[in-house]
Structure 1
Amino acid sequence: MFQTTILNEVKNIGIGLHKGSAINITLSPLDANSGVVFYRSDLNKYYKANYENVINTQMATVIGDKDGFISTIEHLMSALHAYGIDNILISIDANEVPVFDGSSLAFCDMLERAQITKLSARKQVYVLKKEVKVEENAKFALLSATNEPSYDFTINFNHKLIAKQDYKFTFNKVNFIKEIASARTFGFLKDVQALKSKGLALGGSLENAIVLNDDKILNPEGLRFENEFVRHKILDAIGDLYMLGKPVFANYKAYASSHDLNHKLTLKMLENPSSYELVTLDSNSKELLKALS
């Protein structure tokens, strides 16, 4: 299996979740072994999307340095992970990726329009050999060895419309598009109001998030899935794990995990070289190739 990029440059415009202003985004092809690279056109700064450049994980996955940052990259990273994109340039003219409808659908549409093309270099993947786990009180996230990568997530919110939800799905592009890509981010009205009072979430609306008050879902169209909340948590986790810089061939399992815990999981995996193997895919990697196709 060879590395990939996109065939055509594609563009879109969307609203930023926090600042509420229009943001231009362009996806462009990149050469082999370049990775996923973000470009802040307003700053003329490049940031590689990997664990080393993560500077904040409180409300989103944020990359950057002392000169600037790019926030809310996880929904785009999730789509790139699922589509198997190894190399791509993402140009934006603001400090956050457009939120669009709060899911990965717009990014999937851009990738479909761009089309995927193979490069001459072989693809590399992390293959888990031993379990890696991080815990914080009752919360945890873990990676384990597998022959068929999957994501298994449980959430438990003190809200009658969410409560305890769990979902497991086999990770591949087809299943991602069908089961995960359209699951939207969500928040509580009181929290949104508090954030807006601090100059954050200014672009947040019923157009780009599921919003709940104490009694009901405020979006007139309702949910896309009965368990859309936990599906979106899986969407986030897929994007967060792609901050490893390469796909990870593993089972992911979590209870009440977050961007922060997912980031700590990637760091712990890399701190334990005996827990994984970096495999270059070739004609001898038949089982891996089958699971990744």
Structure 2
Amino acid sequence: MQTTITSQVEFHGVGLHSGVAACLRILPALPGRGIVFRRTDMDGAGAEIPARWDLVKQSPLCTRIENAQGVAVSTVEHVMAALVGCGIHNATIEIDGPEVPILDGSSAAFVRGILSKGVRKMAAPLKALRVRDTVEVQKGEAWARLVPHDTLLIEFNIEFEDAAIGTQKKLLNMSNGSFVRELSNSRTFCRKADVEQMRANGLALGGTYENAVVVDGAQVLSPGGLRYRDEAVRHKMLDALGDLGLAGMPILGHYQGFRAGHALTNDLLRALFATPEAYEIVDCDEDIAARLPGAGVHWGEIPEVA
């Protein structure tokens, strides 16, 4: 069955790229609404932006959605990953500014907030998107694909010159609460060499060593170091789950990414929906529901964070 959050939960912080302070609230929503962002600093129906793949306006280093009236919300990927990973299908996300707060750079605070309120089942059937044929997109050396599978697998490969990251590869089944246990507290990361350039381009204005992992060669400059040896690839998987959540329903398929980012994952969803024979919409019986992200999530499995 479809779900929503049991009651409202609130978060405060600053946007990673804008540096603008924001208050974000996740509220219960009716069946069939999906995930919808609402800008509380705007008036009228144009203040709402559905969390959909076709409303993504591709921008560097984050996922930005924008409605027909030009109202946008940026850096939605971490809260989207938390909603997908906790099995929330319907919610209204109120936000009083242009960018989701970065918090500690991961999804952990969003996950804790959602699970502290609880997930409520609704009297409405749930549908899922099952990948039937392989779909792939490529840009330069980077590529992403979706391959048929009976659950959601996320597989990622990254390669960085900095020895603190290097080459990393990981594959996880997203059912059985693995997102909460394995990925939710992995933080966004960047190279120190890129920080000055990003800020010159009006990005990372709210970034600090506390809300992002900053590396310089073999050194990890952020206090406390890494939470996992392979925290970087785990965070890329977190981002991919959040971006796949913009499909509007749970996905049954194997996502594979090599040096992929937000734009390429969105390109992949656009390619998938442009190929009707590559997918089918199925009703979720108990067997399918047990294989979706969010199934089997327990409060006690959320990793501790500093």
Q: Structure 2-normalised TM-score? A: 0.91
Alignment check: 8 A CA contact 1:24 1:92 kept: yes
Alignment check: 8 A CA contact 1:244 1:266 kept: yes
- State the 1:190 CA deviation: 2.6
Per-residue CA distance 1:180-199 (angstroms, 9 max, x = gap):
00110001123222222344
CA distance in 1, matches of 2:260, 2:200: 27
Alignment check: 8 A CA contact 1:154 1:165 kept: yes
1:73 is aligned to 2:71: no
Structure 1 letter corresponding to 2:23? N
Alignment check: 8 A CA contact 2:54 2:270 kept: no
Q: 2:304 is matched with which residue?
A: none
Alignment check: 8 A CA contact 1:83 1:173 kept: no
The share of aligned pairs that are identical, in percent, is 34
Moved over 4 A (4+): none
Q: 1:210 is matched with which residue?
A: 213
Q: 1:99 is matched with which residue?
A: 102
1:188 is aligned to 2:172: no
Q: 1:61 is matched with which residue?
A: 63
RMSD, aligned CA = 1.4
Q: Which moved more, 1:64-73 or 1:180-189?
A: 64-73
Alignment check: 8 A CA contact 1:147 1:287 kept: no
Q: 2:51 aligns with which of 13, 27, 49?
A: 49
- State the 1:162 CA deviation: 1.3
Q: 2:298 is matched with which residue?
A: none
Alignment check: 8 A CA contact 1:82 1:173 kept: no
Please, which runs of 5 or more residues in structure 1 have no aligned partner?
none
Per-residue CA distance 1:145-173 (angstroms, 9 max, x = gap):
11232111000112222111000111125
CA distance in 1, matches of 2:216, 2:185: 22
Structure 1 letter corresponding to 2:81? S
Q: 2:14 is matched with which residue?
A: 15
CA distance in 2, matches of 1:286, 1:3: 12
CA distance in 1, matches of 2:119, 2:206: 31
Q: 1:6 is matched with which residue?
A: 5
Q: Structure 1-normalised TM-score? A: 0.95
SS in 1 for 2:57: strand
CA distance in 2, matches of 1:113, 1:147: 30
Alignment check: 8 A CA contact 1:153 1:230 kept: yes
Alignment check: 8 A CA contact 1:51 1:266 kept: yes
Aligned residues: 289
Q: 2:289 is matched with which residue?
A: 289
Alignment check: 8 A CA contact 2:20 2:99 kept: no
SS in 2 for 1:291: coil
Task: Sort the Cα spacing of 1:107 and 1:268 in 2 relative to 1 into closer, same or farther, 3 A.
Answer: same
- State the 1:43 CA deviation: 1.4
